[in-house]
A and B are shown apart, each in its own frame.
Chain A
Amino acid sequence: MTPSTERRGLSRRQLMSRGLAATAGMIIGGGFIAASDAAWAYEAAALKPETMATLVRMARDIYPHDRIPDEFYVIAVKGYDAPEAAPEIEAGISALNAAAQGAGHADYLSIGWEDDRVALLRAMENSAFFQKIRGGLVTGLYNQKAVWPIFGYEGESFSKGGYLHRGFDDINWL
């Protein structure tokens, strides 16, 4: 069974249910972005696969959390993978790649060091495209309940009776 038939049509729920096991590596090909250990995969629909992959890299470079696997960055930006949003994203990523080429690289994804990629992003941080992606990530990334445990955040507590008997004042190192 090829990856393309096995993973076609993975829903967000299924993708999320694969848990946090994914590693940071991505494989691109056949329309898919996938974790190197095949824990999850995403098939670009309206965007070119390499555009989606570059967008995910850009998202991580904007809000880099080394303990957050790629799949959550994919989820954070996959709303742009739609016919009405795609042209603006393709244009923005093209501009990003052009900037990378202007700096002597083949494209954005081929730049090895984060600092070198971030320098390109800094140069375009006032652009509408950058601000759209950055602004969207604030909720798209940090409002995913599945990433909250990575930060230690516990979310809803009413159903558990609050923290009165569950450690609201349990600090023991002061």
Chain B
Amino acid sequence: MVAKYELDDDSVVLIIGTGSGGGVLANELAQKGVKVVSLEAGGRYLPDDYLNDEWDSFAQLAWLDARTTSGDWRVAKDFAGLPAWIVKAVGGTSIHWAGASLRFQPHEWKARSSYGHVTGANLLDWPIDAAEMEPWYEKAEAKLGVTRTGGRPGLPGNNNYKILEKGALALGYKEVHTGRMAIRSVDSEEQIACQQTGFCFQGCKWGAKWSSAYTDIPAGEATGNLEVRDRCHALKIEHDDKGRVTGVLYADKDGVQHLQKARVVCVAGNSIESPRILLNSASSMFPDGLANSSGQVGRNYLRHVTGSVYGVFEKPVKMWRGTTMAGIVQDEARLDPSRGFVGGYELETLSLGLPFMAAFLDPGGWGRSFTSAMDGYENMAGMWIVGEDMPQETNRVALSATEKDQFGLPAPNVHFDDHPNDVAMRNHAYARGEAIYRAAGATRTFPTPPYPSTHNLGTNRMSEKARDGVVNRHGQSHDVPNLFVSDGSQFTSGAAENPTLTIVALAIRQADFIAGELAKNNL
């Protein structure tokens, strides 16, 4: 019994986006009896629809609307029109994510206090901390079925993991294991465990990896309180003369525009689209964009310090077999400024199929140096660097002055310059990654540049004080009380960990807050 609400029903909570933020929030609110309309720009794709084919899957799922880039990051050169590799579909990027589910380390909630002043960085402490988040992390881990938490066993290690483990242990690393993953490691009565198929990035055809697409969304719909409108692209958030939001203008699959009234609006379109719709919702009352009295909307764009290391060995590895993110080295995630940078990084196995390896190993590369590397594909192992990048005000999502999207609205430009701390961390991580593979017997290693961003964060940051950020400790706009941000754009800082678990924990927590405020008639 799927709910169906009228456009003029102004009692609903309207959520833009159905990924790990918006999708979880929608279900959690629906479970509490709150009426929810979710707008999703993409279509609905389920495990049967997912494709074990990198480019075909990319065409099926990727967000490919007009975007531009600027700044000194290499993505702007290599993939000028594709700053981010994220998903347009019901379930959002939770279809594409690898499943790594790590809690922030306690000190990372307080980046400014922990790291001190870093020139050029706009560091700020979160208004919440590890102790406050503990119970929400527990709920998130239970929801996602995270391995190595709650008594759930770890996944078995594939060949790619075994290489990483051997090299890492040889170098003396201690925290080396097959990860805390939102991937089922044991069969249940109804659901099958991971079959080590690979193609985690293309959507798990077994449904063994958590995605809101086939968990929270249908669970929310089953309550009768949640209506998901797919292929409905939010264009503008409307407000009244009291400065409260009243609804959202959107275009349906045929391009016909509708205005859905709402009591509360929650923005969860990922860290490029979420600030963009706030900026595109500028009005005479909010000339710099909605919720932007601080001027911080779109700023402090974070994308993690990333990069990959691939190593070629004398004999076959077949890294594509099995879980894409099959294991982790956590020792470098610690805070230790003696390494020449603040913050830390994780090293996680990664594999790409041959088609994506050709596109990403050394974008723009050609000739024998490149092709002899590709000739070693079967003998390759791979890892990905995930580290904390420094928030900078000038790293930002802004409205393009020239480019428009398919609806005629200004497209987003994503500007990113590496901070010197980011560069120092990446170089350290490249060296350690290459050392790990050499210790395992690699004959050749490659420090591979960052891919288009999958961890897009920070562009509607959470802050204690209204002047420092966009939303408060509940993800609620400092300026507009019935407007919330419910995705990774509310991150005050990025931490070293893959962000999805924290996005989910914050969404569960936010649902609790919104339901409580609705019950008290505070919203």
Which residues in A have some Cβ–Cβ distance to B below 8 Å? Answer: 61-65, 67, 118, 125, 134, 138-139, 141-143, 148, 151-159, 161-164, 166-171, 173-174
Q: List 21 A-B contacts (CB under 8 A).
A: A63-B370, A134-B364, A139-B55, A143-B55, A148-B354, A152-B316, A152-B378, A153-B353, A153-B354, A155-B353, A157-B198, A158-B206, A163-B195, A164-B194, A167-B318, A171-B316, A174-B162, A174-B163, A174-B166, A174-B440, A174-B441
Taking the closest CB of chain A, its distance from the CB of B430, in whole angstroms, is 23
Most buried by B among A61, A143, A154, A171: A171
- Select from chain B the residue with minimum beta-carbon distance to A150: B375
- Across-interface contacts of A67 in B (CB, < 8 A): 375
> Is the Cβ of B157 less than 8 Å from the Cβ of A64?
no
- Select from chain A the residue with minimum beta-carbon distance to B205: A158
Q: Does B322 contact A (CB under 8 A)?
A: yes
Q: Please, how many angstroms separate the alpha-carbon atoms of A169 and B327 in the complex?
A: 13
Which residues in B have some Cβ–Cβ distance to A below 8 Å? Answer: 52-53, 55, 156-159, 162-163, 166, 194-199, 205-206, 314-318, 320-322, 353-355, 357-359, 364, 366-368, 370-371, 374-375, 377-378, 440-441
Taking the closest CB of chain B, its distance from the CB of A33, in whole angstroms, is 22
- Select from chain A the residue with minimum beta-carbon distance to B166: A174
- Select from chain B the residue with minimum beta-carbon distance to A118: B367
> Is the Cβ of B52 less than 8 Å from the Cβ of A154?
no
Most buried by B among A62, A153, A162: A162
> Is the Cβ of A153 less than 8 Å from the Cβ of B52?
no
- Across-interface contacts of B359 in A (CB, < 8 A): 138-139, 142
Q: Please, how many angstroms separate the alpha-carbon atoms of A166 and B314 in the complex?
A: 22
- Select from chain A the residue with minimum beta-carbon distance to B52: A156
> Is the Cβ of B196 less than 8 Å from the Cβ of A163?
yes
- Across-interface contacts of A158 in B (CB, < 8 A): 52, 197, 199, 205-206
- Across-interface contacts of B199 in A (CB, < 8 A): 157-158
> Is the Cβ of A173 less than 8 Å from the Cβ of B315?
yes
- Across-interface contacts of B357 in A (CB, < 8 A): 142
Q: Please, how many angstroms separate the alpha-carbon atoms of A162 and B206 in the complex?
A: 10
Contact of A162 among B198, B316, B371, B440 (CB under 8 A): B198
- Across-interface contacts of B166 in A (CB, < 8 A): 174
Contact of A168 among B53, B158, B355, B441 (CB under 8 A): B158
- Across-interface contacts of A159 in B (CB, < 8 A): 52
Q: Please, how many angstroms separate the alpha-carbon atoms of A164 and B321 in the complex?
A: 9
Using known A-B contacts A151-B378, A158-B52, determine if residue A171 contacts B353 with beta carbons closer than 8 Å. no
> Is the Cβ of A163 less than 8 Å from the Cβ of B358?
no
Contact of B377 among A151, A156, A157, A174 (CB under 8 A): A151
> Is the Cβ of B322 less than 8 Å from the Cβ of A168?
yes
> Is the Cβ of B355 less than 8 Å from the Cβ of A139?
yes
- Across-interface contacts of A118 in B (CB, < 8 A): 367
Q: Please, how many angstroms separate the alpha-carbon atoms of A74 and B456 in the complex?
A: 39
- Across-interface contacts of B205 in A (CB, < 8 A): 158
- Select from chain B the residue with minimum beta-carbon distance to A115: B368
Additional pairs, 13, CB under 8 Å, beyond known A169-B196, A174-B441: A64-B368, A65-B371, A118-B367, A142-B357, A148-B354, A151-B377, A155-B53, A156-B52, A156-B53, A157-B197, A162-B197, A162-B206, A164-B196
- Select from chain A the residue with minimum beta-carbon distance to B313: A173
Most buried by A among B158, B195, B366: B366
Taking the closest CB of chain A, its distance from the CB of B187, in whole angstroms, is 11
> Is the Cβ of A142 less than 8 Å from the Cβ of B322?
no
> Is the Cβ of A171 less than 8 Å from the Cβ of B159?
yes
Q: Please, how many angstroms separate the alpha-carbon atoms of A62 and B369 in the complex?
A: 11
> Is the Cβ of A64 less than 8 Å from the Cβ of B195?
no
**A-B CB proximity, top 3 nearest:** A152-B378, A162-B197, A162-B195
- Across-interface contacts of A157 in B (CB, < 8 A): 52, 197-199, 321
- Across-interface contacts of A61 in B (CB, < 8 A): 367
- Across-interface contacts of A161 in B (CB, < 8 A): 195, 197
Taking the closest CB of chain A, its distance from the CB of B343, in whole angstroms, is 32
Taking the closest CB of chain B, its distance from the CB of A61, in whole angstroms, is 8
> Is the Cβ of B375 less than 8 Å from the Cβ of A151?
yes
